[in-house]
Amino acid sequence: MVFRIDCHAHVGCYKDTKWTNGRWGELTPDALFAYMDRLGIDAAVLLPAYSWDLDKIGIRTTTESALDLCREYPDKLIPFCVLEVREGEFKDKLKRYRDEGCVGYGEHTSKIQIDHPLNLRLFRLCGKLELPVLMHMAVSEDDDYGILDTLNLDGLEKILKIYSDVNFILHGQGWWRFISATFDPQEQYPKGKIQKSGRAVQLLEEYENLYGDLSAYSGYNALSRDIEFGKKFLKMFSKKLIFGTDMLAFFEPEKSHIDLLERFDLSMQEYENICHRNLEKIIGIKLT
């Protein structure tokens, strides 16, 4: 049996926390654990979801509630922390979250440029506190939420160079479309064969501190749109890619990241790297 850590899980309904956006409010702790048991997921990173932009669409899970739940289930849940960088000074709060047990920062969703001065301050602090950063990348300013960048990911490359002491985990449509060199800038989930690899491939190759979160439909689509390319990609970056679901198969059981990964005929070492070793290395905790 392969040990699996889901790098991207949420709870939408816990005590006084309830997401009003879509079906996410159905995600109680019991629903999350049933989902994990059904898929054979041994542990999960619990990501709080908070920013001004998420608040506007009825999504909120504070770091405090995530920490509370992780303390109840320390063998199953791993806490990350998040805050809204536009709310003012956050140095002391971030340090307190780290001291209370958070081993990473994210899911970062504030809709500002990736190289905005507030983000640069955040990344500098995360480097000092040894916290990896998981970011949701937006496609455009029309998106409800997510970190913004240019159509060439210039800002991302800039921060990868400046903050080489920070491990960045990239997630979302605005990241995974760059698996291909060509795409419609307005399209959330590009389809079809990948004729030429894109900036995501180039940056993963060049920067040791960059990782890819395979979760959600954005990651699922990036791998499944071209199975032949997807297999080469997974093998090439088996030490840079991280298994996660973002609860995709909770809402659409036919879309299982585990089922998809098993289609690629990976070696056991490659599969275990993706399923748990890469994340364990990033957060500095060995769970197996």
The count of other CB atoms within 10 Å of the CB of residue 150 is 13
Q: What is the mean pLDDT of residues 250-275?
A: 97
Q: Indicate if the pLDDT at residue 88 is higher than 90.
A: no
Q: What is the pLDDT, as a whole number, of residue 83?
A: 97
Distance from C-alpha of 245 to C-alpha of 40, rounded to nearest angstrom: 12
What is the average pLDDT value for the chain, to the nearest integer? 97
> Model confidence over 152-162: pLDDT tens digits?
999 999 999 99
Distance from C-alpha of 78 to C-alpha of 283, rounded to nearest angstrom: 10
> Model confidence over 27-80: pLDDT tens digits?
999 999 999 999 999 999 999 999 999 999 999 999 999 999 999 999 999 999
Q: What are the start-end ranges of the H helices in 3-74?
A: 29-39, 52-56, 63-72
Show Cβ contacts of residue 194 under 8 Å, excluding neighbours closer than 6 positions.
Answer: 179, 180, 225, 226, 229
Q: What is the pLDDT, as a whole number, of residue 25?
A: 93
Q: Indicate if the pLDDT at residue 286 is higher than 90.
A: no
Q: Name the residue type at position 80.
A: F
DSSP category for residue 47: -
Q: What is the pLDDT, as a whole number, of residue 18?
A: 85
Distance from C-alpha of 71 to C-alpha of 191, rounded to nearest angstrom: 41
Distance from C-alpha of 134 to C-alpha of 103, rounded to nearest angstrom: 11
Residues comprising the chain, all counted: 288
* SS3 (DSSP) at 264: helix
CA distances 19 to 16, 181, 209, 268, 281, Å, are: 10, 36, 33, 38, 32
Task: Give this prediction's pTM.
Answer: 0.97
Q: pLDDT above 70 covers what percent of the chain?
A: 100
230 sits in which H/E element = helix 227-236
Distance from C-alpha of 256 to C-alpha of 174, rounded to nearest angstrom: 21
Q: Indicate if the pLDDT at residue 241 is higher than 90.
A: yes
Q: pLDDT above 90 covers what percent of the chain?
A: 95
Distance from C-alpha of 247 to C-alpha of 255, rounded to nearest angstrom: 10
Q: What is the pLDDT, as a whole number, of residue 16?
A: 79
Distance from C-alpha of 44 to C-alpha of 7, rounded to nearest angstrom: 6
Q: Considering the domain 5-283, what is its CATH architecture?
A: Alpha-Beta Barrel (3.20)
* SS3 (DSSP) at 35: helix
Q: What is the mean pLDDT of residues 135-153?
A: 97
Q: What is the mean pLDDT of residues 224-234?
A: 98
The larger pLDDT score, comparing residue 22 to residue 235, is at 235
HSE value, Cβ hemisphere, 13 Å, CA-based, for 66: 33
Distance from C-alpha of 129 to C-alpha of 144, rounded to nearest angstrom: 30
Region for residue 275 given its phi and psi (left: phi exceeds 0; alpha: psi -120 to 50; beta: otherwise): alpha
Q: What is the pLDDT, as a whole number, of residue 288?
A: 81
Look at strands 210-213 and 168-171 and give their pairing: parallel
DSSP category for residue 49: B
Q: What angle do CA 210, 214, 217 make, to 5 degrees?
A: 135
Show Cβ contacts of residue 178 under 8 Å, excluding neighbours closer than 6 positions.
Answer: 153, 198, 199, 200, 201
